[in-house]
A = this chain, B = another copy of it.
Amino acid sequence: MGAESSKKSSPKASAPTKVHIADQEITWTNWYQHVNWLNITLIVAIPIIGLYYSMYTPLYRKTAIWAVLYYFATGFGITAGYHRCWAHCSYTATLPLKIFLAAVGGGAVEGSIRWWSRDHRAHHRYTDTDKDPYSVRKGLLYSHLGWMVMKQNPKRIGRTDISDLNEDSVVVWQHKNYLTVVIFMGLIFPALVAGLGWGDYLGGFVYAGILRIFFVQQATFCVNSLAHWLGEQPFDDRNSPRDHIITALVTLGEGYHNFHHEFPSDYRNAIEWFQYDPTKWFIWTMKQLGLAYDLKQFRTNEIEKGRLQQQQKKLDRIRARLDWGIQLENLPVMEFEEFQEQARNGRALITVAGVVHDMTSFIKDHPGGKAMINSGIGKDATAMFNGGVYNHSNAAHNLLSNFRVAVIRGGCEVEIWKQAQRENKDVEAITD
């Protein structure tokens, strides 16, 4: 089978098939072919034009408020609609809500639901790999804009299952009529509202239309860039997603992105009440209004397990870096007599829990004083050390491991055993 397929592909490999432009090097002669001119127009050129016109267009208070409101509406179209409803099915929207989200989401000018969700599922499934359409490993700017502004080989992007979207009539309709939706919801509708409402067609077009598009785009693009670059990783640090309040503020609550990549089908991004996640509040409100149902949520138990394991990972890393003394199995074995002998001859040896410690360098530093520690020399000080005289702190226990020099044959009960033997009691002699 393997041989067969390689035979089949070999003529293909040798034939000079057309290499996709994205896989060719950028040169002085082909650079313009690398650029996605449509996207450059939508993302860069139009905002510049809008900025130019805004200098000649007075901004009325009503139009300003409308622009901000429409900014939030179209933002929710992306976050609550495109992202949490369609890409992740984290809740179910009723038809009226779907139509609303598909409309205002279209007004954000970020592609159709179908196209956006396909790419986004690939982003989750292949995060940080070459199959991730906006992998941050290719640079922050690439993940923010570059992937749209430069042409991409569509074959590179990981495949995902979007059969559910193909069965969703709202998604299919929006995809088919995408150009109409974009022009109407992106530009005409905001102009109409301002025009029919208070006669400011031009202001509505420039501020609630063009410039608002720019802000919504840049804000939501941050989910692909900033959210993979800035902040903490409380649930998993193997990949790039991160949690940060700044990202959340910019992206209507999509800033708890480490959580989100771990629990993508949770309708929440922020799990604490004090974190900023207006998209979650929006979805919750829709539920109260009967417009959304089946809000999915991972159990707190599962979330806490994830957090715990990540913290454990961090601790284990620290633990591995620290010095825990010579391993017991690498220490020489010493007879209790020899230990006593050496201690009598002036070596400051103390046995604790079957391990011989040379305390010479520590005696003068002992926080409990010289007399105390000296009283343990040549003895099995296990009981003294563990509360008999003083119940030493954790720090003291740790410190001990620095001074290990040997282990006692027979372990820490050796003294009791010797004692019993001397008294001719019935003790089995342990020899090995």
Contacts and interface: CB of A to CB of B under 8 A. Distances in A.
A26 interface: no
A161 B371 contact: yes
A89 B324 CA distance: 27
A263 B365 CA distance: 11
Contacts of A272: none
Contacts of A306: 394-395, 398
Residue from A163, A236, A305, A315 having most chain B Cβ neighbours under 10 A: A305
A296 B362 CA distance: 11
Interface in A368-405: 368-369, 371-372, 390, 393-395, 398-399, 402
A371 B365 CA distance: 67
Nearest to A296: B365
Nearest to A305: B398
A339 interface: no
A315 to B, nearest CB: 6
Say which size band chain A's interface belongs to. 35 or more
A298 interface: yes
Contact of A315 (B125, B301, B311, B393): B311
A318 interface: yes
A303 B398 CA distance: 9
B323 A367 contact: no
Interface in A162-195: 163-164
B318 A308 contact: yes
A309 interface: yes
Given A236-B393, A308-B319, A315-B315, A399 B367 contact: no
A71 interface: no
Given A262-B395, A394-B236, A395-B263, A322 B296 contact: no
Per DSSP, chain A at the interface is helix
A302 interface: yes
Contacts of A369: 161, 163-164
A305 B235 CA distance: 24
A262 to B, nearest CB: 5
Given A265-B367, A315-B311, A315-B315, A161 B304 contact: no
Nearest to A306: B395
Contacts of A164: 369
Interface string A120-159: 0000110000000000000000000000000000000000
Contacts of A409: none
Nearest to A261: B393
Contacts of A311: 311, 315
A265 B369 CA distance: 10
Contacts of A105: none
A264 interface: yes
A235 B398 CA distance: 12
Interface string A300-339: 0111111011111001001100111000000000000000
A304 B320 CA distance: 12
A287 interface: no
A88 interface: yes
Contacts of A402: 302
7 contacts: A236-B393, A302-B398, A302-B399, A302-B402, A305-B324, A308-B318, A311-B311
